[in-house]
Amino acid sequence: MQDGCGSGRAKASLSREDRDRAKLPCKDGSLTFLTICPFGSLDLPPVGIATLLAVLKSRGFPATAVDLNAESYAFASATQRPLWNSQRILDFIDAERFSEILPTIQPILRYCTDRLLSTPCRVIGFSLFRTNLRFSVEVAARIKRSDPDRLIIFGGPSCDVAGERRWIPSGTVDALVVGDAEESLPQLLTSLSSSSPAPRGVIWGEDLKPDRVLNREVMPDLNSCPFPDFSDFNLTHYQRRHHSGDQYLPVVGSRGCIMHCAYCNDHVFSRPYRPRTAEDIFAELRHQYHLYGTGAFHFNDLLINGRLDVLDRLATLLCEANLPISWIGQAIPRGDMSESLLNKLARSGLEMITYGVESGSSRIRALMNKNPRLIAPEKALRSTHRAGIRTAVNLMVGFPGETDQDFSETLAFVQRNSNHIDLIESIHPVFISPNSPLEVDPSTFDVEPLGDSPIERAIRWKGVDGSTYELRKARLLELAQLLQDLGIEYPHNRLNLLDG
Protein backbone atom coordinates (compact mmCIF):
# COMPACT_ATOMS: atom_id res chain seq x y z
CA MET A 1 0.00 0.00 0.00
CA GLN A 2 1.19 3.51 -0.79
CA ASP A 3 1.21 6.88 0.89
CA GLY A 4 2.77 6.22 4.23
CA CYS A 5 1.43 2.86 5.38
CA GLY A 6 3.83 1.48 7.94
CA SER A 7 6.22 4.40 7.53
CA GLY A 8 5.53 5.95 10.92
CA ARG A 9 7.78 5.37 13.91
CA ALA A 10 5.91 2.90 16.09
CA LYS A 11 6.83 0.84 19.13
CA ALA A 12 7.10 -2.90 18.79
CA SER A 13 5.23 -3.27 22.06
CA LEU A 14 3.52 -1.20 24.70
CA SER A 15 6.35 -0.11 26.99
CA ARG A 16 6.04 1.32 30.50
CA GLU A 17 6.70 4.76 28.96
CA ASP A 18 3.85 4.23 26.48
CA ARG A 19 1.49 3.30 29.26
CA ASP A 20 2.46 6.26 31.41
CA ARG A 21 1.83 8.58 28.48
CA ALA A 22 -1.57 7.04 27.89
CA LYS A 23 -2.51 7.82 31.50
CA LEU A 24 -2.06 11.55 30.98
CA PRO A 25 -5.39 13.36 31.24
CA CYS A 26 -6.68 15.12 28.14
CA LYS A 27 -7.60 18.78 28.13
CA ASP A 28 -11.25 17.84 27.76
CA GLY A 29 -11.00 15.09 30.34
CA SER A 30 -11.21 12.28 27.76
CA LEU A 31 -8.68 9.51 27.63
CA THR A 32 -9.94 7.52 24.67
CA PHE A 33 -11.31 8.58 21.31
CA LEU A 34 -13.47 6.08 19.43
CA THR A 35 -14.07 6.49 15.72
CA ILE A 36 -15.35 4.83 12.58
CA CYS A 37 -13.82 5.95 9.28
CA PRO A 38 -15.21 6.13 5.73
CA PHE A 39 -16.49 4.37 3.71
CA GLY A 40 -19.69 2.74 4.92
CA SER A 41 -23.43 3.01 5.27
CA LEU A 42 -24.93 6.37 6.18
CA ASP A 43 -28.29 4.93 7.23
CA LEU A 44 -27.84 4.75 11.01
CA PRO A 45 -25.49 5.96 13.75
CA PRO A 46 -22.89 3.27 14.61
CA VAL A 47 -24.33 1.27 17.47
CA GLY A 48 -21.04 -0.56 18.10
CA ILE A 49 -18.96 2.43 19.14
CA ALA A 50 -22.02 4.00 20.80
CA THR A 51 -22.20 0.94 23.04
CA LEU A 52 -18.46 1.00 23.76
CA LEU A 53 -18.70 4.71 24.57
CA ALA A 54 -21.38 3.93 27.15
CA VAL A 55 -19.34 1.01 28.54
CA LEU A 56 -16.19 3.11 28.97
CA LYS A 57 -18.07 5.92 30.67
CA SER A 58 -19.77 3.45 33.01
CA ARG A 59 -16.35 2.03 33.97
CA GLY A 60 -14.92 5.46 34.76
CA PHE A 61 -12.95 5.98 31.53
CA PRO A 62 -13.66 9.44 30.09
CA ALA A 63 -14.18 8.88 26.39
CA THR A 64 -15.32 10.63 23.25
CA ALA A 65 -16.66 9.25 19.95
CA VAL A 66 -17.01 10.58 16.43
CA ASP A 67 -18.42 9.03 13.28
CA LEU A 68 -15.90 10.21 10.69
CA ASN A 69 -17.78 8.28 8.03
CA ALA A 70 -20.92 10.42 8.41
CA GLU A 71 -18.99 13.58 9.27
CA SER A 72 -16.79 13.29 6.17
CA TYR A 73 -19.83 12.80 3.96
CA ALA A 74 -21.53 15.85 5.47
CA PHE A 75 -18.55 18.03 4.54
CA ALA A 76 -17.72 16.29 1.24
CA SER A 77 -18.16 18.05 -2.07
CA ALA A 78 -20.75 17.02 -4.62
CA THR A 79 -18.04 15.30 -6.66
CA GLN A 80 -16.80 13.33 -3.63
CA ARG A 81 -20.14 12.07 -2.34
CA PRO A 82 -20.56 9.32 -4.96
CA LEU A 83 -17.64 7.58 -3.22
CA TRP A 84 -20.19 6.41 -0.62
CA ASN A 85 -22.31 4.66 -3.25
CA SER A 86 -22.50 0.94 -2.52
CA GLN A 87 -21.41 0.21 -6.10
CA ARG A 88 -17.96 1.64 -5.22
CA ILE A 89 -17.36 -0.98 -2.56
CA LEU A 90 -14.57 -2.75 -4.46
CA ASP A 91 -12.56 0.48 -4.63
CA PHE A 92 -12.04 0.27 -0.87
CA ILE A 93 -11.56 -3.49 -0.54
CA ASP A 94 -9.29 -4.38 -3.43
CA ALA A 95 -5.67 -3.29 -2.88
CA GLU A 96 -5.00 -2.30 -6.50
CA ARG A 97 -8.22 -0.32 -6.85
CA PHE A 98 -7.61 1.41 -3.54
CA SER A 99 -4.16 2.51 -4.67
CA GLU A 100 -5.71 3.91 -7.84
CA ILE A 101 -8.22 6.09 -5.97
CA LEU A 102 -5.77 7.36 -3.33
CA PRO A 103 -5.25 10.67 -5.17
CA THR A 104 -9.01 11.19 -5.29
CA ILE A 105 -9.56 10.61 -1.58
CA GLN A 106 -6.60 12.68 -0.33
CA PRO A 107 -8.83 15.53 0.94
CA ILE A 108 -10.94 13.08 2.94
CA LEU A 109 -7.85 11.34 4.32
CA ARG A 110 -6.41 14.71 5.39
CA TYR A 111 -9.69 15.74 6.99
CA CYS A 112 -9.95 12.54 9.04
CA THR A 113 -6.30 12.57 10.06
CA ASP A 114 -6.38 16.21 11.14
CA ARG A 115 -9.66 15.66 12.97
CA LEU A 116 -8.14 12.86 15.06
CA LEU A 117 -4.82 14.63 15.64
CA SER A 118 -6.74 17.65 16.90
CA THR A 119 -8.11 15.66 19.83
CA PRO A 120 -5.92 15.61 22.94
CA CYS A 121 -6.78 11.95 23.58
CA ARG A 122 -3.72 9.72 23.67
CA VAL A 123 -5.60 6.53 22.79
CA ILE A 124 -7.53 6.33 19.51
CA GLY A 125 -9.72 3.32 18.82
CA PHE A 126 -10.84 2.48 15.26
CA SER A 127 -13.82 0.28 14.42
CA LEU A 128 -12.87 -1.71 11.33
CA PHE A 129 -14.92 -3.52 8.76
CA ARG A 130 -14.06 -4.60 5.26
CA THR A 131 -14.98 -1.41 3.41
CA ASN A 132 -13.18 0.99 5.75
CA LEU A 133 -10.14 -1.11 6.71
CA ARG A 134 -7.68 0.18 4.10
CA PHE A 135 -8.80 3.78 4.63
CA SER A 136 -8.48 3.41 8.43
CA VAL A 137 -4.98 1.96 8.05
CA GLU A 138 -3.98 4.99 5.96
CA VAL A 139 -5.30 7.37 8.62
CA ALA A 140 -3.63 5.44 11.44
CA ALA A 141 -0.29 5.44 9.60
CA ARG A 142 -0.47 9.21 9.12
CA ILE A 143 -1.26 9.69 12.81
CA LYS A 144 1.72 7.54 13.79
CA ARG A 145 3.94 9.51 11.45
CA SER A 146 2.80 12.85 12.88
CA ASP A 147 2.59 11.80 16.53
CA PRO A 148 4.19 8.39 17.26
CA ASP A 149 3.18 8.64 20.91
CA ARG A 150 -0.51 8.17 20.11
CA LEU A 151 -1.65 4.64 20.89
CA ILE A 152 -3.74 3.11 18.11
CA ILE A 153 -6.24 0.33 18.86
CA PHE A 154 -8.07 -1.55 16.13
CA GLY A 155 -11.28 -3.50 16.75
CA GLY A 156 -14.39 -4.51 14.88
CA PRO A 157 -15.33 -7.32 12.48
CA SER A 158 -12.17 -7.09 10.35
CA CYS A 159 -10.03 -7.87 13.39
CA ASP A 160 -11.82 -11.21 13.63
CA VAL A 161 -10.60 -12.22 10.17
CA ALA A 162 -6.95 -13.30 9.98
CA GLY A 163 -6.94 -12.69 6.22
CA GLU A 164 -8.01 -9.09 6.68
CA ARG A 165 -5.59 -8.53 9.57
CA ARG A 166 -2.87 -9.12 6.97
CA TRP A 167 -3.96 -5.85 5.36
CA ILE A 168 -2.60 -4.03 8.43
CA PRO A 169 1.10 -3.16 7.95
CA SER A 170 3.52 -3.53 10.81
CA GLY A 171 3.90 -0.40 12.88
CA THR A 172 0.43 0.95 12.19
CA VAL A 173 -1.34 -0.29 15.33
CA ASP A 174 -0.44 -0.92 18.96
CA ALA A 175 -3.20 -3.37 19.87
CA LEU A 176 -5.96 -5.41 18.23
CA VAL A 177 -9.20 -6.27 20.01
CA VAL A 178 -10.73 -9.48 18.67
CA GLY A 179 -14.41 -10.24 19.23
CA ASP A 180 -16.77 -8.46 21.61
CA ALA A 181 -14.95 -5.52 23.18
CA GLU A 182 -17.23 -4.60 26.08
CA GLU A 183 -14.95 -6.37 28.57
CA SER A 184 -11.61 -6.50 26.76
CA LEU A 185 -11.37 -2.79 25.85
CA PRO A 186 -11.76 -1.52 29.45
CA GLN A 187 -9.31 -4.20 30.57
CA LEU A 188 -6.87 -3.08 27.89
CA LEU A 189 -7.09 0.53 29.02
CA THR A 190 -6.52 -0.58 32.60
CA SER A 191 -3.48 -2.58 31.48
CA LEU A 192 -1.95 0.56 30.00
CA SER A 193 -1.06 1.65 33.54
CA SER A 194 0.38 -1.68 34.66
CA SER A 195 2.72 -4.44 33.57
CA SER A 196 -0.09 -6.96 33.34
CA PRO A 197 -0.27 -9.27 30.33
CA ALA A 198 -2.63 -8.68 27.43
CA PRO A 199 -6.26 -9.16 28.43
CA ARG A 200 -8.35 -11.88 26.86
CA GLY A 201 -9.30 -10.97 23.32
CA VAL A 202 -6.37 -8.56 22.85
CA ILE A 203 -3.25 -8.93 20.70
CA TRP A 204 -0.36 -6.58 21.36
CA GLY A 205 3.42 -6.34 21.58
CA GLU A 206 5.40 -9.27 20.21
CA ASP A 207 2.18 -11.18 19.54
CA LEU A 208 0.96 -8.49 17.13
CA LYS A 209 1.29 -10.63 14.02
CA PRO A 210 -1.34 -11.12 11.28
CA ASP A 211 -1.32 -14.89 11.61
CA ARG A 212 -1.66 -14.87 15.39
CA VAL A 213 -4.50 -17.21 16.34
CA LEU A 214 -6.76 -15.88 19.04
CA ASN A 215 -10.20 -17.00 20.05
CA ARG A 216 -12.67 -14.14 19.76
CA GLU A 217 -13.92 -12.75 23.05
CA VAL A 218 -17.63 -13.24 23.71
CA MET A 219 -19.82 -11.07 25.90
CA PRO A 220 -22.00 -13.71 27.60
CA ASP A 221 -24.61 -11.48 29.26
CA LEU A 222 -25.79 -8.70 26.96
CA ASN A 223 -28.22 -7.49 29.63
CA SER A 224 -25.28 -6.20 31.66
CA CYS A 225 -24.29 -3.67 28.96
CA PRO A 226 -25.31 -0.05 29.37
CA PHE A 227 -27.54 1.34 26.64
CA PRO A 228 -25.76 2.81 23.58
CA ASP A 229 -24.77 6.46 23.99
CA PHE A 230 -25.44 8.49 20.83
CA SER A 231 -24.82 11.86 22.48
CA ASP A 232 -21.55 12.46 20.59
CA PHE A 233 -23.15 11.94 17.15
CA ASN A 234 -24.94 14.48 15.00
CA LEU A 235 -28.11 12.52 14.31
CA THR A 236 -29.05 14.79 11.41
CA HIS A 237 -26.19 13.20 9.43
CA TYR A 238 -28.01 9.85 9.07
CA GLN A 239 -30.29 9.08 6.18
CA ARG A 240 -32.71 6.35 7.25
CA ARG A 241 -35.81 8.07 8.57
CA HIS A 242 -39.27 7.01 9.56
CA HIS A 243 -42.14 8.37 7.47
CA SER A 244 -42.96 10.61 10.46
CA GLY A 245 -39.58 12.29 10.00
CA ASP A 246 -38.03 10.68 13.09
CA GLN A 247 -34.45 9.49 12.79
CA TYR A 248 -34.15 5.73 13.24
CA LEU A 249 -31.93 4.68 16.13
CA PRO A 250 -30.30 1.23 16.03
CA VAL A 251 -31.02 -1.39 18.68
CA VAL A 252 -29.34 -4.74 19.21
CA GLY A 253 -31.67 -7.21 20.92
CA SER A 254 -29.47 -10.25 20.35
CA ARG A 255 -26.14 -11.32 18.92
CA GLY A 256 -25.52 -14.38 16.82
CA CYS A 257 -28.04 -16.46 14.93
CA ILE A 258 -29.88 -19.74 15.41
CA MET A 259 -29.19 -20.52 11.74
CA HIS A 260 -25.79 -21.29 10.21
CA CYS A 261 -26.32 -20.51 6.55
CA ALA A 262 -23.47 -21.60 4.30
CA TYR A 263 -23.11 -18.25 2.49
CA CYS A 264 -23.10 -16.17 5.67
CA ASN A 265 -20.19 -15.11 7.86
CA ASP A 266 -22.19 -12.95 10.28
CA HIS A 267 -23.15 -15.95 12.40
CA VAL A 268 -19.45 -16.91 12.54
CA PHE A 269 -18.34 -13.50 13.82
CA SER A 270 -21.18 -13.10 16.31
CA ARG A 271 -21.70 -16.62 17.63
CA PRO A 272 -23.07 -18.01 19.83
CA TYR A 273 -26.68 -16.83 19.72
CA ARG A 274 -27.37 -14.66 22.77
CA PRO A 275 -30.69 -12.86 23.22
CA ARG A 276 -31.32 -10.09 25.70
CA THR A 277 -34.39 -10.24 27.90
CA ALA A 278 -37.52 -8.53 26.64
CA GLU A 279 -37.48 -6.35 29.75
CA ASP A 280 -33.98 -5.07 29.02
CA ILE A 281 -34.77 -4.35 25.36
CA PHE A 282 -37.96 -2.53 26.33
CA ALA A 283 -36.10 -0.47 28.93
CA GLU A 284 -33.64 0.64 26.22
CA LEU A 285 -36.41 1.62 23.80
CA ARG A 286 -38.15 3.64 26.50
CA HIS A 287 -34.87 5.25 27.61
CA GLN A 288 -33.81 6.26 24.09
CA TYR A 289 -37.32 7.51 23.24
CA HIS A 290 -37.33 9.90 26.20
CA LEU A 291 -33.66 10.91 25.78
CA TYR A 292 -33.53 11.55 22.03
CA GLY A 293 -37.17 12.23 21.27
CA THR A 294 -37.42 9.64 18.51
CA GLY A 295 -39.86 6.74 18.46
CA ALA A 296 -38.35 4.96 15.43
CA PHE A 297 -36.04 2.01 16.04
CA HIS A 298 -34.13 -0.26 13.68
CA PHE A 299 -33.18 -3.64 15.16
CA ASN A 300 -29.70 -4.55 13.91
CA ASP A 301 -30.07 -8.20 14.97
CA LEU A 302 -29.42 -10.93 12.45
CA LEU A 303 -32.92 -12.03 13.41
CA ILE A 304 -35.52 -10.67 15.82
CA ASN A 305 -37.34 -14.02 16.08
CA GLY A 306 -34.62 -16.32 17.33
CA ARG A 307 -36.61 -16.70 20.57
CA LEU A 308 -40.35 -16.36 20.02
CA ASP A 309 -41.03 -16.15 23.77
CA VAL A 310 -38.78 -13.10 24.05
CA LEU A 311 -40.40 -11.52 20.99
CA ASP A 312 -43.88 -12.15 22.39
CA ARG A 313 -42.95 -10.65 25.76
CA LEU A 314 -41.44 -7.56 24.13
CA ALA A 315 -44.61 -7.04 22.13
CA THR A 316 -46.66 -7.32 25.33
CA LEU A 317 -44.50 -4.73 27.12
CA LEU A 318 -44.74 -2.30 24.21
CA CYS A 319 -48.51 -2.71 23.96
CA GLU A 320 -48.93 -2.12 27.70
CA ALA A 321 -46.69 0.97 27.65
CA ASN A 322 -48.65 2.53 24.79
CA LEU A 323 -45.67 4.63 23.71
CA PRO A 324 -45.57 6.06 20.15
CA ILE A 325 -42.82 3.63 19.16
CA SER A 326 -42.39 2.00 15.75
CA TRP A 327 -39.74 -0.56 14.90
CA ILE A 328 -38.41 -2.69 12.09
CA GLY A 329 -36.11 -5.69 11.94
CA GLN A 330 -34.86 -8.75 10.12
CA ALA A 331 -36.16 -12.26 10.72
CA ILE A 332 -36.08 -15.79 9.43
CA PRO A 333 -39.37 -16.83 7.76
CA ARG A 334 -40.46 -19.21 10.49
CA GLY A 335 -43.55 -21.28 9.96
CA ASP A 336 -44.34 -21.36 13.68
CA MET A 337 -45.01 -17.62 14.06
CA SER A 338 -48.69 -17.63 14.91
CA GLU A 339 -51.14 -15.08 13.60
CA SER A 340 -51.92 -14.03 17.17
CA LEU A 341 -48.24 -13.23 17.73
CA LEU A 342 -47.99 -11.31 14.47
CA ASN A 343 -51.15 -9.34 15.31
CA LYS A 344 -49.70 -8.43 18.69
CA LEU A 345 -46.42 -7.40 17.06
CA ALA A 346 -48.36 -5.12 14.71
CA ARG A 347 -50.13 -3.52 17.68
CA SER A 348 -46.77 -3.06 19.42
CA GLY A 349 -45.52 -0.87 16.57
CA LEU A 350 -43.63 -3.40 14.44
CA GLU A 351 -44.02 -1.90 10.98
CA MET A 352 -41.82 -4.06 8.75
CA ILE A 353 -40.02 -7.39 8.81
CA THR A 354 -37.26 -8.23 6.34
CA TYR A 355 -37.30 -11.97 5.77
CA GLY A 356 -34.18 -13.85 4.68
CA VAL A 357 -35.84 -16.00 2.03
CA GLU A 358 -32.83 -16.00 -0.37
CA SER A 359 -34.27 -18.63 -2.76
CA GLY A 360 -37.70 -19.81 -3.83
CA SER A 361 -36.36 -23.36 -4.17
CA SER A 362 -36.72 -25.52 -1.05
CA ARG A 363 -33.88 -27.70 -2.34
CA ILE A 364 -31.50 -24.75 -2.54
CA ARG A 365 -32.58 -23.48 0.88
CA ALA A 366 -31.70 -26.90 2.29
CA LEU A 367 -28.28 -26.74 0.58
CA MET A 368 -27.85 -23.33 2.19
CA ASN A 369 -28.34 -25.08 5.55
CA LYS A 370 -31.68 -23.40 6.23
CA ASN A 371 -33.63 -25.75 8.48
CA PRO A 372 -36.56 -27.04 6.36
CA ARG A 373 -38.52 -28.00 9.48
CA LEU A 374 -38.47 -24.38 10.64
CA ILE A 375 -38.54 -22.34 7.45
CA ALA A 376 -41.85 -21.68 5.67
CA PRO A 377 -41.44 -18.52 3.57
CA GLU A 378 -44.87 -18.40 1.94
CA LYS A 379 -46.73 -18.90 5.21
CA ALA A 380 -44.58 -16.29 6.97
CA LEU A 381 -45.05 -13.70 4.22
CA ARG A 382 -48.79 -14.15 3.95
CA SER A 383 -49.43 -14.22 7.72
CA THR A 384 -47.24 -11.17 8.27
CA HIS A 385 -48.95 -9.23 5.52
CA ARG A 386 -52.41 -10.12 6.85
CA ALA A 387 -51.38 -8.77 10.26
CA GLY A 388 -50.71 -5.39 8.66
CA ILE A 389 -46.91 -5.60 8.90
CA ARG A 390 -45.00 -4.67 5.75
CA THR A 391 -42.80 -7.40 4.34
CA ALA A 392 -39.40 -7.09 2.76
CA VAL A 393 -37.40 -9.98 1.32
CA ASN A 394 -33.72 -10.74 0.78
CA LEU A 395 -32.97 -12.68 -2.40
CA MET A 396 -29.80 -14.12 -3.91
CA VAL A 397 -29.16 -16.13 -7.05
CA GLY A 398 -26.57 -18.69 -8.05
CA PHE A 399 -25.97 -20.66 -4.88
CA PRO A 400 -23.75 -23.67 -5.72
CA GLY A 401 -25.92 -26.36 -7.22
CA GLU A 402 -28.69 -24.01 -8.38
CA THR A 403 -30.16 -25.38 -11.60
CA ASP A 404 -32.38 -23.70 -14.16
CA GLN A 405 -35.31 -25.44 -12.45
CA ASP A 406 -34.30 -24.04 -9.03
CA PHE A 407 -34.02 -20.55 -10.44
CA SER A 408 -37.41 -20.94 -12.13
CA GLU A 409 -38.84 -21.82 -8.71
CA THR A 410 -37.50 -18.53 -7.35
CA LEU A 411 -39.17 -16.62 -10.17
CA ALA A 412 -42.41 -18.51 -9.56
CA PHE A 413 -42.18 -17.87 -5.82
CA VAL A 414 -41.91 -14.13 -6.40
CA GLN A 415 -44.83 -14.14 -8.83
CA ARG A 416 -47.00 -16.23 -6.52
CA ASN A 417 -46.35 -14.02 -3.51
CA SER A 418 -46.10 -10.64 -5.21
CA ASN A 419 -49.19 -9.35 -3.39
CA HIS A 420 -47.55 -10.18 -0.06
CA ILE A 421 -44.10 -8.69 -0.76
CA ASP A 422 -43.85 -4.93 -0.27
CA LEU A 423 -40.21 -4.56 -1.30
CA ILE A 424 -36.95 -6.38 -1.90
CA GLU A 425 -34.36 -5.24 0.64
CA SER A 426 -31.37 -7.03 -0.91
CA ILE A 427 -30.76 -8.74 -4.24
CA HIS A 428 -27.39 -10.07 -5.40
CA PRO A 429 -25.50 -13.08 -6.75
CA VAL A 430 -23.88 -15.41 -4.22
CA PHE A 431 -20.46 -14.27 -3.05
CA ILE A 432 -18.00 -16.33 -1.04
CA SER A 433 -17.69 -14.29 2.15
CA PRO A 434 -14.57 -14.52 4.35
CA ASN A 435 -14.84 -17.22 7.03
CA SER A 436 -18.22 -18.41 5.74
CA PRO A 437 -18.68 -22.17 5.31
CA LEU A 438 -18.46 -21.59 1.54
CA GLU A 439 -14.97 -20.17 1.96
CA VAL A 440 -13.75 -22.49 4.70
CA ASP A 441 -14.75 -25.69 2.91
CA PRO A 442 -15.47 -24.92 -0.77
CA SER A 443 -15.07 -28.55 -1.85
CA THR A 444 -18.12 -29.51 0.20
CA PHE A 445 -20.17 -27.20 -2.00
CA ASP A 446 -18.37 -28.15 -5.23
CA VAL A 447 -16.96 -24.64 -5.58
CA GLU A 448 -13.71 -23.69 -7.29
CA PRO A 449 -12.53 -20.14 -6.46
CA LEU A 450 -10.94 -18.41 -9.48
CA GLY A 451 -8.47 -15.55 -9.74
CA ASP A 452 -5.54 -14.33 -7.69
CA SER A 453 -7.07 -11.66 -5.47
CA PRO A 454 -9.46 -12.43 -2.60
CA ILE A 455 -12.10 -10.28 -4.31
CA GLU A 456 -11.90 -12.19 -7.58
CA ARG A 457 -12.06 -15.48 -5.73
CA ALA A 458 -15.12 -14.34 -3.81
CA ILE A 459 -17.00 -13.10 -6.87
CA ARG A 460 -15.81 -15.13 -9.85
CA TRP A 461 -15.96 -18.60 -8.37
CA LYS A 462 -16.94 -21.53 -10.56
CA GLY A 463 -19.21 -24.42 -9.64
CA VAL A 464 -18.47 -27.93 -10.81
CA ASP A 465 -22.04 -27.90 -12.10
CA GLY A 466 -21.01 -25.20 -14.60
CA SER A 467 -22.10 -22.16 -12.62
CA THR A 468 -20.15 -19.04 -13.61
CA TYR A 469 -20.34 -15.41 -12.64
CA GLU A 470 -21.74 -14.56 -16.06
CA LEU A 471 -24.58 -17.06 -15.53
CA ARG A 472 -25.31 -15.71 -12.05
CA LYS A 473 -25.28 -12.16 -13.37
CA ALA A 474 -27.73 -13.07 -16.14
CA ARG A 475 -30.08 -14.71 -13.66
CA LEU A 476 -29.87 -11.70 -11.37
CA LEU A 477 -30.86 -9.34 -14.18
CA GLU A 478 -33.74 -11.63 -15.16
CA LEU A 479 -35.00 -11.60 -11.57
CA ALA A 480 -34.66 -7.82 -11.41
CA GLN A 481 -36.70 -7.48 -14.60
CA LEU A 482 -39.46 -9.64 -13.11
CA LEU A 483 -39.56 -7.44 -9.99
CA GLN A 484 -39.83 -4.38 -12.18
CA ASP A 485 -42.65 -5.94 -14.21
CA LEU A 486 -44.52 -6.82 -11.00
CA GLY A 487 -44.03 -3.34 -9.56
CA ILE A 488 -42.08 -4.60 -6.53
CA GLU A 489 -39.58 -2.06 -5.24
CA TYR A 490 -35.98 -3.23 -5.19
CA PRO A 491 -32.59 -1.52 -4.75
CA HIS A 492 -31.53 -0.72 -8.32
CA ASN A 493 -28.20 0.69 -7.17
CA ARG A 494 -27.53 -2.31 -4.95
CA LEU A 495 -27.71 -5.15 -7.44
CA ASN A 496 -24.15 -5.73 -6.29
CA LEU A 497 -22.70 -6.81 -9.58
CA LEU A 498 -19.45 -5.36 -8.26
CA ASP A 499 -17.48 -5.80 -11.46
CA GLY A 500 -17.66 -2.40 -13.03
How many C-beta atoms surround the C-beta of residue 431 within 10 A? 22
Q: Where are the domains of the chain?
A: 16-207, 240-494
pLDDT recorded at residue 270:
79
Rounded to whole angstroms, the Cα distance separating 41 from 86 reads 8
pLDDT recorded at residue 220:
85
Looking at the structure, give the CATH architecture of the domain made up of residues 240-494. Alpha-Beta Barrel (3.20)
pLDDT recorded at residue 240:
94
Distances (CA, A) of 391 to 83, 228, 277, 343, 425: 30, 28, 25, 14, 9
pLDDT recorded at residue 499:
52
Residues 6+ apart with CB under 8 A from 106: none
Whether pTM > 0.85 for this model: the answer is yes
pLDDT recorded at residue 7:
30
pLDDT recorded at residue 214:
64
Chain-centre distance for alpha carbon 454: 20
pLDDT recorded at residue 305:
98
pLDDT recorded at residue 500:
45
Give pLDDT < 70 ranges for the chain.
1-30, 193-195, 206, 209-216, 493-500
Strand partners, 327: 297, 350
pLDDT recorded at residue 141:
96
How many C-beta atoms surround the C-beta of residue 84 within 10 A? 19
Q: What is the phi/psi pair of residue 354, to 5°?
A: -100, 115
The CATH number of the structural domain formed by 16-207 is 3.40.50.280
Q: Do domains 16-207 and 240-494 have the same CATH topology?
A: no
